Amino acid sequence: MSQPPPLPASASASAAAIAAAVRAREVSAQEVVDEHLARIARVDPTLNALTVVFPDRARAAAAEVDAALAAGRDPGPLAGVPISVKENIDLTWSATTNGWRGLADAVPARDATIVRRLRQAGAVPVARGNMPDFGMRWDTDNDVFGRTLNPWNRERSAGGSSGGDAVAVATGMSAIGLGNDFGGSLRLPAYAAGVVGLRPSRGLVPRAAVQGQPVALTLQQFSVNGPMARRVDDVALALQVIQGWDADDPVSLAAPVVRLDGLPRRIGVVRDLAGLELDPEVAAGIDRAAASVSRAGWEVVDVEVPLIEEAAVLWRRLSCTDMLISLDPAALGQPLGRSATAFLRDSTAAARPYETAREYAEAWARRAALAAEWRRLLVEVPVLLGPVSVARMREIDYDLGGQEAADRAWRDLWLTVVVNFLGLPALALPTGLGADGMPTGVQLIGPAFGEQLLFDAGRAIEAAVPGLGPIPSLG
């Protein structure tokens, strides 16, 4: 069963518990931040999850939270909660490098909307999370900050691209990690590190400000910002804070009122992925999750999702077509890092980017037909339960090494990238440890703006599956 909650001042406490304790003045925000900074100093030198740490600024921000409480003011629902912010999300305290040397001095003039909202809610940034160049890989490494290691097994990948924030959350260096997801970049690191990661519905959470510069269509359609945390409730709390319309992001919108109460309380288990073989440990994690929701009163049925291979192929070809344009070294002014260059070369060669405007337009037109098939399925079966990856978390640099490695890495994630292709919400969460000592996990997929359904099912799983326990390498 799940582990009992730690003490509120602990660096392993939930974000909700930390905020409640700070608001009740059982512990000060400064004490919480100091404990997390001490944790960072002990843990991060061997894991390299964080690129920049903000001890002075974080302590000053925590003092502001304590001062507000002392004056009888409400500091917000995330009072004193330490957060980490991925290197591609604007935070004025340091450069938004995107993990690339060409942006080493790109200090933003203002915080991203989601960072501003979290800070207004009382959260305290303590550090930046590592990532690959422009978030392109399914591992976390770059020429500026180096590699982030998986605390469960340092020979296995930490996932990407939000690997730094996932490891920070898993190891108690931050309580909430802020990242983004273009092709699994929140859910895969969450799976690798054993934390909860939410890919919100397209448009629900604002992305980067658009200030006169063109934005690739795949970035507009496939990529979203979202939170990671150690508990489902913490992710739900963070979503409440960061969601909603933003004048700087034309894709963002006010959270719509979606009628969920009339939908059947039914979960479809996805085991057949167009012939892809599930690792036995992955299948066992799915079985544990399915049994948990069944005991909680959900009807559980097996489903075969429609046209998954075609959707995954379209996601890949469209993505690689846009990446070749937007990440052209001639346009950037200098090359990508070594591993990012290899990944782009191998992935685009394997994906066969579109060569004509007609092909590109036809691919986007086909997307509507596939989205309609999935929408009809999600009316009958409002929540899908399946793997984040069909494989156990693979070795470091598993997504490099030529076209064969690129194909394997992509096939592992068909169900994951299709979610991006369709703009749907998905929640990744752990389901205990496998025999290899690594976390197992699943993802829950729902209809557009059906995040509450995912949280309900996720809580049922979280309450029933075995807890992960402490990470052995951390003592």
Note the pLDDT tens digit of each residue in 87-125: 999 999 999 999 999 999 999 999 999 999 999 999 999
What's the confidence (pLDDT) of residue 213? 83
53 part of a folded domain: yes
What's the confidence (pLDDT) of residue 475? 66
What's the confidence (pLDDT) of residue 7? 44
pLDDT beneath 50: ranges in the chain: 1-5, 7
What's the confidence (pLDDT) of residue 11? 66
What's the confidence (pLDDT) of residue 12? 81
Indicate the number of domains in the chain.
1
Biggest CA–CA distance in the chain, Å, is 63
CA dist 138 and 397 (Å) reads: 8
2 part of a folded domain: no
What's the confidence (pLDDT) of residue 256? 78
What's the confidence (pLDDT) of residue 5? 47
449 part of a folded domain: yes
Q: How does DSSP assign 9-20, residue by residue?
A: TSTTS-HHHHHH
Indicate whether this model's pTM tops 0.95: yes
Q: Could you say which DSSP state residue 265 is in?
A: -
Look up the CATH number of the domain holding residue 34.
Answer: 3.90.1300.10
Cβ atoms < 10 Å from Cβ of 291: 14
Q: Are the beta carbons of 114 and 71 closer than 8 angstroms?
A: no
Residue 159 structural domain: 15-474
360 part of a folded domain: yes
144 part of a folded domain: yes
Two structure tokens written together for 390: 């069909």
176 part of a folded domain: yes
Q: Which of 179, 152, 131, 151 is nearest to 47 (CA)?
A: 151
What's the confidence (pLDDT) of residue 9? 52
7 part of a folded domain: no
Residues noted as catalytic: 86, 161, 185
80 part of a folded domain: yes
CA dist 153 and 159 (Å) reads: 12
What is the identity of the amino acid at 111?
D
CA dist 307 and 241 (Å) reads: 35
Q: Are the beta carbons of 414 and 308 closer than 8 angstroms?
A: yes
CA dist 350 and 345 (Å) reads: 9
HEC secondary structure over 22-82? HHCCCCCHHHHHHHHHHHHHHHHHHHCCEEEECHHHHHHHHHHHHHHHHCCCCCCCCCCCE
Residue 273's DSSP bridge partners are: 276
What's the confidence (pLDDT) of residue 4? 43
